[in-house]
């Protein structure tokens, strides 16, 4: 094992077996030994001497941050203990022009909305590319971004998501050149790409391709505890102090040391064995994508197909998009069968596909189990597929009020049928993948209304609406 300053400091503290006269109240699990919490509590410490301070890092956290920055090729890196969400919030809060205009894709994660409310951002949405078969947004294009930058001279930052939830990456190099030419910053939500810098066969990291700042949701793809994430600043980024103030403003003064230590350990593991682990996963992915593709009735997407729209530059090989194209069941049923009959839980399902998220820690028997289960299901459900409802994304929204103004406005609840022509006061995001179809402050046009009606009928899991069955919706007074 290499240097892991935070983990080492915690371990030393625990070994010294001190009488803990400080927070947290579980005092390391003593006195509650019979409870499962005691096992979790031992490493759960606070900013005592030797364990540094996330808000004024000088020793263990400072050293670990430098190592983190080195590992990711950043000028500076910050530990996040509230997921990629907190990094996205901090970046939006760090911007400073009076226009507050930011270019962002409509398929941005819902955490962008929170960031816009906090920061008073004025969003300008980039159209998304839709895959015609999958009905999902895969990437945004540099040409669209260039056009929007030319039409809006006062955009302070372009904030894109790459990779998408489905593992498809934008052409960050071209987007970065377009942003630079317009004197705008390029910020990237790379929540699902924390593993990219550690193997050349995986997509290039956004930082490498010219992004000014990047957020990685490390817990999504690396061996990091839930909520562990990081925020990196690019080598030429000149507003580090503003980002740090926003980060410090938004971050708890009681960060979870187990989360910090897990990031520290994962970074060390990735330096030591990340390439080998990712290599073996890459080979397994190539082999099993081919095997799944060969199952009659199933289609497993490959990189060329996902790139056919032109805006997708690279693809994460560990995200498997599988369509039951020639089966009598849809994606929801396929996911349910995998769960109920084969004890396999996939990351997401839609009427058209399932998304299986593989990790570098899945071994051959895991891939084999998925393959055999799919083969078995395909053998049992041959025949004509039921007609599925089309999953079209809604057209670009009409923003009537800034997200922040809408958030603080008075609202009332109406029946969905009465909402056409009114301004939404709540978020509606089918989840996964968490792409909002409506944000507070946006007009419920007839097209949006039809989409809401589709969501209600299809019983997709929704995040945001007060009434999850969507019979009622909140609108601005």
Contact 409, 431 (CB under 8 A): no
Residue 311 CB, nearest approach to ligand PLP (Å) = 16
Contact 306, 129 (CB under 8 A): no
Residue 139 interacting with ligand PLP (CB under 6 A): no
Residue 162 CB, nearest approach to ligand PLP (Å) = 9
Residue 189 interacting with ligand PLP (CB under 6 A): yes
Binds ligand PLP (CB under 6 A): choice among 213, 229, 230, 448: 229
Pattern 33-72, ligand PLP, x by CB under 6 A: ----------------------------------------
Mind giving me the DSSP string for 140-157? --HHHHHHHHHH-TTEEE
* Contacts for 462-469: CB closer than 8 Å, 24+ residues apart: 462/428, 462/429, 462/430, 462/431, 463/110, 463/427, 463/429, 463/430, 463/431, 463/434, 464/110, 464/426, 464/427, 464/428, 464/429, 464/436, 465/426, 465/427, 465/428, 466/413, 466/426, 467/413
Would you say 47 or 350 has its CB closer to ligand PLP? 350
**Which residues contact residue 469 at a Cβ distance below 8 angstroms, ignoring those fewer than 6 apart?**
456
User: Which residue's C-beta sits nearest to ligand PLP?
Assistant: 83
Binds ligand PLP (CB under 6 A): choice among 191, 295, 360, 438: 191
Would you say 431 or 454 has its CB closer to ligand PLP? 431
Contact 9, 53 (CB under 8 A): no
Residue 186 CB, nearest approach to ligand PLP (Å) = 16
Q: How many residues does the chain have?
A: 477
Would you say 59 or 359 has its CB closer to ligand PLP? 359
Cis peptide before 162 (omega within 30 of 0): no
**Which residues contact residue 303 at a Cβ distance below 8 angstroms, ignoring those fewer than 6 apart?**
314, 315, 317
Residue 196 CB, nearest approach to ligand PLP (Å) = 14
Contact window for ligand PLP (CB under 6 A) among 70-78, 79-87, 120-128, 420-428:
79-87
Contact window for ligand PLP (CB under 6 A) among 189-197, 242-250, 305-313, 462-470:
189-197
Binds ligand PLP (CB under 6 A): choice among 84, 179, 416, 455: 84
Would you say 161 or 184 has its CB closer to ligand PLP? 161
Would you say 71 or 188 has its CB closer to ligand PLP? 188
Binds ligand PLP (CB under 6 A): choice among 85, 122, 129, 351: 85
Residue 161 interacting with ligand PLP (CB under 6 A): yes
Coil, strand, or helix at residue 55? coil
Q: Is the dihedral of CA 280, 268, 196, 317 positive or negative?
A: positive
| Bridge partner residues of 415 (DSSP) | 472
Q: Give the up-direction half-sphere exposure of residue 207: CA atoms within 13 A in the CB hemisphere.
A: 29
Contact window for ligand PLP (CB under 6 A) among 1-9, 83-91, 150-158, 268-276:
83-91
Binds ligand PLP (CB under 6 A): choice among 77, 111, 142, 391: 111
| CA atoms of 209 and 191, how far apart (whole Å) | 16
Q: In what order do the strands lie in the sheet with 348-349?
A: 299-300, 319-323, 354-357, 348-349
Tokens 């909402």 sit at which residue?
A: 419
Residue 431 CB, nearest approach to ligand PLP (Å) = 9
Identify which of 306, 272, 22, 274 has the alpha carbon closest to the alpha carbon of residue 139: 306
Contact 381, 327 (CB under 8 A): yes
Pattern 196-225, ligand PLP, x by CB under 6 A: ---------------------x--------
Would you say 189 or 209 has its CB closer to ligand PLP? 189
Contact window for ligand PLP (CB under 6 A) among 19-27, 80-88, 351-359, 450-458:
80-88
Query: Using CB under 6 A as the criterion, which residues of the chain lie in contact with ligand PLP when the complex forms?
Result: 83-85, 109, 111, 161, 165, 189, 191-192, 217, 229, 434
């Amino acid at each position: 094992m290499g240097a892991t300053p935070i983990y080492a400091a915690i371990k030393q503290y625990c070994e010294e077996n001190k009488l803990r006269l400080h927070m947290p109240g579980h005092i390391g699990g003593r006195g509650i030994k019979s409870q499962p919490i005691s096992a979790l509590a031992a490493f759960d410490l606070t900013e005592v001497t030797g364990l540094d301070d996330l808000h004024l890092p000088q020793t263990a956290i400072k050293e670990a941050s430098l190592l983190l920055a080195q590992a990711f090729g950043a000028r500076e890196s910050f530990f996040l203990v509230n997921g990629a969400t907190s990094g996205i919030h901090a970046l939006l809060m760090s911007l400073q022009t009076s226009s507050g205009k930011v270019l962002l894709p409509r398929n941005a994660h819902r955490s962008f909305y929170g960031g816009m409310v906090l920061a008073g951002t004025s969003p300008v949405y980039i159209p998304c590319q839709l895959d015609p078969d999958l009905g999902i947004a895969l990437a945004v294009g540099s040409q669209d971004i260039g056009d929007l930058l030319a039409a809006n001279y006062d955009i302070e930052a372009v904030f894109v998501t790459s990779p998408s939830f489905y593992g498809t990456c934008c052409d960050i190099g071209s987007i970065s050149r377009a942003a630079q030419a317009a004197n705008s910053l390029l910020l990237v939500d790379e929540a699902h790409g924390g593993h990219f810098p550690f193997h050349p066969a995986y997509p290039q990291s956004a930082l490498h391709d010219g992004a000014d700042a990047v957020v990685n949701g490390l817990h999504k793809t690396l061996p990091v505890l839930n909520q562990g994430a990081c925020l990196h600043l690019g080598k030429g980024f000149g507003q580090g102090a503003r980002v740090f103030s926003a980060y410090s403003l938004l971050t708890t003064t009681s960060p979870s040391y187990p989360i910090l230590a897990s990031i520290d350990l994962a970074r060390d593991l990735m330096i030591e064995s990340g390439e080998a682990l990712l290599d073996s996963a890459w080979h397994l992915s190539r082999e099993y994508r081919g095997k799944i593709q060969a199952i009659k009735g199933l289609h497993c997407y490959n990189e060329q197909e996902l790139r056919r729209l032109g805006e997708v530059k690279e693809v994460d090989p560990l995200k498997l998009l599988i369509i039951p194209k020639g089966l009598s069941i849809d994606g929801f049923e396929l996911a349910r069968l995998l769960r109920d009959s084969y004890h396999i839980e996939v990351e997401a399902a839609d009427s058209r596909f399932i998304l299986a998220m593989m990790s570098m820690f899945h071994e051959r028997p895991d891939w084999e189990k998925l393959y055999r289960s799919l083969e078995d299901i395909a053998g049992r459900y041959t025949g004509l597929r039921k007609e599925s409802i089309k999953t079209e994304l809604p057209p670009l929204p009409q923003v009537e009020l800034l997200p922040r103004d809408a958030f603080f406005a008075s609202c009332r609840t109406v029946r969905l049928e009465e909402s056409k022509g009114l301004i939404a006061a709540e978020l509606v995001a089918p989840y996964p993948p968490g792409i909002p179809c409506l944000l507070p402050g946006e007009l419920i046009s007839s097209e949006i209304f039809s989409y809401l009606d589709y969501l209600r009928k299809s019983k997709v899991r929704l995040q945001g609406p007060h009434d999850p069955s969507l019979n009622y919706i909140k609108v601005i007074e």
